[in-house]
Structure 1
Amino acid sequence: MRKMKIAMFGQKRIPSREGGVEIVVEELCTRMVEHGHEVTCYNRRGHHVSGSEYDAKILNEYKGIKLKTVPTIEKKGLAAVSSSFFAAICCALGKYDVVHIHAEGPAFFAWIPKMFGKKVVVTIHGLDWQREKWKSGFGAKFIHQGEKNAVKYADEIIVLSRGVQDYFLKTYGRKTKVIPNGVSSHVKRNAKIISDKYGLNKDDYILFLGRLVPEKGIRYLIEAFKKVETDKKLVIAGGNSDTCEFEKKMKELAKGDKRIIFTGFVQGEELEELYSNAYVYTLPSDLEGMPLSLLEAMSYGNCCLVSDIPECKDVVEDEALIFRKSDINDFYIKLQAACSHPEKVIEMKKMSEDFICRKYNWNDVVEETMEQYRR
């Protein structure tokens, strides 16, 4: 197989766990390098989305991936636009066989490398204009146009779900390729860091892990959990991603229930311990692209409780507990049942890891992605 020169942009930066896009880009790139391809990632400059205390040192290389940091206007709403513009210019002028753009916003600039004769692939990680913070204003218009530019200029479009594939076909008459995210098996860790920091032990907490944004259904989770009769705690782990006001509201809503713990952004061993020792992992989202946190939770052998949106149901099939989206009462009933019937939770834990690791494999994802490049 011919070795290729590949450029990627649209992620904030790698190595980083600032969001699902960053995880996907890192997983793809490290494996492509292992296969002998030359990969360059264009990272944005600036602070970590959850605060400067999580900033990492700027690197020129990581696991064989070439890293280049582009100029970035560090103002809300302009960081992604400015960094994507400069990354697109660099990709257009560089010697690359393929330019791979991630997400709808950065795809606005797909025309720049295309104008310079580059082959362009765009991965749509979700319909970003549906998210609360992009429903109006300049950001909404920019993302909508990014979607249209992907349709117009990309040689291939990759989507993560059948629902988004149907959307592009019905809206634009554009065929796309479904390539879902992958997951790896993980070594489980004993509760040490989380025991010292939060008083958490094996199987004594329900875990939510993700960005603290409205579409993740955190409000439903808090309101439902407050009604549950249990000694188990609720751990809400994640940063606010430019939505400090929403995080404050959620903490206010949780006030008075000492069982609810907000950890803030977590990474490394602390993150691994949270996944490894949860009683139940829950994802009550109204909106998802393809939820990597759900794949990861199942790969740690967790029983999962998720909303019935297609993006979650397609992942878990019959191997998880499901409640009606946005229905706090149904959510409460399912949470109470899980706390009251540990035998059901134990049964689902036994099957989740093997099921998810067989169904979603990063090596398969990379091979299918490379096939799109070769096309």
Structure 2
Amino acid sequence: MIGHKQIPSRSGGVEIVVEKLSEHLMKRGIQIDIYNRRMPEGEQIREYKGMRMYYSFTVHRKNLDAIIAAFFSTLRALTRGYDILHYHAEGSCLMLWLPHLFHKKIAVTIHGLDWRRAKWSRFASKMLLVGEKFAVKYADQIIVLSKDVQRYFMEQYGRRTNYIPNGVDPMPKRRPNLIRKKFGLEKEGYILFLARIVPEKGLHYLINAYKNIDTEKKLVVAGNCPYAQEYGRQILELAGNSEKIIFTGFVEGELLEELFSNAAVYVLPSEIEGMPISLLEAMSYGRCCLVSDIPENLNVAEGCVESFCTGNTDDLQRHLEELLRDPEKCCRLGEKAADYVGRCYNWEMVAERTVEVYESK
């Protein structure tokens, strides 16, 4: 596995997917080696849940990190006789020409059309687009997470891809213990935003909408802002000194589980997504979800969520106010979402279909 930042980690959706998929592939008897990016701090573990862990040199700069790490990971991987090299995300695909030269079988998972994301410079976006074209040219098999991206590859390149959505594990529901002690939060006493704090996630729309709503419920912003410090500063300025807007920073483990378990509404106002794992998780917890109406969100949810017009703060405000006034509707939507996710999204199915891709010619 090449292209993620580091496992184990919840630093992004790619990392969650690589970890969960690898776990379930291991259960099927496939040995998985993980090529992490070497971090300036942190322990370098050599084995995790049966997976062998390797660490590749990189430069921790936004426009170079993924490309350099993929280059050194590929060089090391080519010496180890793997049956398959599985690359994740478009940035790492810039290195696909290397294993292609050595006639290695290459699988690629496109987690989203990364070159469209606002966080990238014009040069970086162009390089990501080159990575996408390299995936079309050199990959033996391409996996996509949404039917819209599948259509895009067919219309843009005439390239067939394999649609395999992400999964989600059953989550333990927890009472508000840690979140009460750390942040003063109670059950259904807050609106939850949980994602990376980057422009395309649309947090600025949510904060502007929330500030115009008369509610006692707090707004909890859970996430960090890697490579987007300027946007992070803008968000803090937008929130002002409001005691009702709580920034938790990066969360995981029991704290994360408590935040999901006790939110009144989960809001994902993103403008661009691949396949949002955090939305699947919120739905699996039986949370009422309010999302922007981009296809990637709506295709995941299949009518089990409320949606608003992407980028429209007034429409977001209107829908959020309606949900906060109608807890019974929130409950119905949450129950419907949990049932749907439990039936349609699971990692066993993802692993089974991924093995089929590996074994195909």
TM-score (norm 1): 0.94
Aligned-pair CA distance for 1:278? 0.4
Number of equivalences:
360
Amino acid at match of 2:86: H
Question: Does 2:177 align with 1:192?
Answer: yes
Written as runs of structure 1 = structure 2, the 5 A alignment for 1:209-224 is 209-224=194-209
Shift of 1:256: 4.3
Question: Runs in 1 of length 4+ with deviation above 4 angstroms?
Answer: none
Fraction of identical pairs, as percent? 49
Provide the residue aligned with 1:4 in structure 2.
Answer: none
Out of 89, 92, 103, the position equivalent to 1:103 is 89
- 1:69 matched to 2:55? The reply is yes
- Which runs of no fewer than 5 residues in structure 1 stay unpaired? 1-7
Conservation of the 8 A alpha-carbon contact between 1:129 and 1:135: no
**CA displacement 1:301-330 (0-9 Å, x = unmatched):** 111000110000111121111111111111
1:93 and 2:86 correspond: no
Counterpart of 2:229, as a letter, is C
Counterpart residue number, 1:15 = 8
Instruction: Tell whether 2:133 aligns with 1:140.
Output: no
Residue 359 of structure 2: aligned partner: 374
Q: Is the 8 A contact 2:37 2:57 kept in 1?
A: yes
Residue identity opposite 2:91 in structure 1: G
For residue 29 of structure 1, what is the amino acid of its counterpart? S
Listed as ranges, the matches of 1:294-333 within 5 Å are: 294-333=279-318
**Equivalent in the alignment of 2:219:** 234
> Could you say which residue in structure 2 is the equivalent of 1:3?
none
1:135 Cα offset (Å): 4.6
Q: SS of the residue aligned with 1:133?
A: coil
Residue from 268, 284, 294 that aligns with 2:269: 284
Matched position secondary structure for 2:73: helix
Aligned with residue 26 of structure 2, among 21, 33, 43: 33
Query: Is the CA contact 2:190–2:265 (under 8 Å) kept in the aligned structure 1?
Result: yes
Q: What secondary structure does 2:119 align onto? A: helix
SS of residue in 2 equivalent to 1:252: helix
CA deviation digits over 1:169-192, x for unaligned, max 9?
A: 111111111111001111101111
2:152 aligned counterpart, secondary structure:
helix
Residues 67, 95 of structure 2: 8 Å contact kept: no
**Partners of 2:243 and 2:9 in 1: CA distance:** 32
Q: Which amino acid aligns with 1:351?
A: K
Measured after TM superposition, the shift of residue 292 of structure 1 is: 0.3
Separation of aligned partners in 1, 2:224 and 2:60: 18
Return the alpha-carbon distance in structure 2 between the equivalents of residues 196 and 171 of structure 1. Answer: 52
Q: Find the aligned partners of 1:260 and 1:71 in 2 and give their Cα distance.
A: 38
Query: What are the ranges of 5 or more consecutive residues in structure 2 without an aligned counterpart?
Result: none
Q: Distance in 2 between matches of 1:373 and 1:135?
A: 34
> Which of 165, 174, 190 in structure 2 is aligned with 1:180?
165
SS, match of residue 208 in structure 1 = strand
> What is residue 203 of structure 1 aligned with on the other side?
188
Question: 1: distance between equivalents of 2:238 and 2:283?
Answer: 28
SS at match of 2:248: strand
Q: Does 1:59 align with 2:45?
A: yes
User: Which one-letter code corresponds to 2:337 in the other structure?
Assistant: S
1:93 Cα deviation after fit: 2.1
Deviation at 1:300, TM superposition (A): 1.0
**Could you tell me how far apart the structure 2 residues matched to 1:240 and 1:19 are?**
11
| Alignment partner of 1:122 is 2:108 | yes
Distance of 1:95 and 1:173 partners within structure 2: 31
| CA deviation after TM superposition for structure 1 residue 58, in Å | 1.1
Check 1:64–1:234 CA distance in 2 against 1; reply closer, same or farther (3 A cut): same
SS at match of 1:93: coil
Contact 2:85 2:104 in 1 (8 A): yes
> What is the letter of the counterpart of residue 283 of structure 1?
L
The question of whether the paired residues in 1 share the 8 Å contact of 2:21 and 2:351 is answered with: yes
Deviates more, 1:29-38 or 1:291-300: 29-38
CA distance in 1, matches of 2:346, 2:187: 28
Cα-to-partner distance string for 1:76-135 (whole Å, 9 max, x where unaligned):
422212111011112222211111000001011111112112100010000000001225
Return the TM-score normalized by structure 2.
Answer: 0.97
* Aligned-residue CA RMSD (Å): 1.1
Q: CA deviation at 1:258?
A: 2.4
Structure 1: how far apart are the matches of 2:351 and 2:125?
31
Please state whether the residue corresponding to 1:240 is helix, strand or coil: coil
| Equivalent in the alignment of 2:140 | 155
Alpha-carbon contact 1:238-1:264 (below 8 Å) kept: yes
Quick check: 1:93–1:116 contact (8 Å CA) kept in 2? no
SS in 2 for 1:88: helix
Q: CA contact under 8 A between 1:39 and 1:66: conserved in structure 2? A: yes
> How many angstroms apart in 1 are the aligned matches of 2:178 and 2:117?
33
Matched residues in 2 for 1:347 and 1:152: separation? Answer: 46
Which has the larger displacement, 315-324 or 346-355?
346-355
SS of residue matched to 2:208: helix
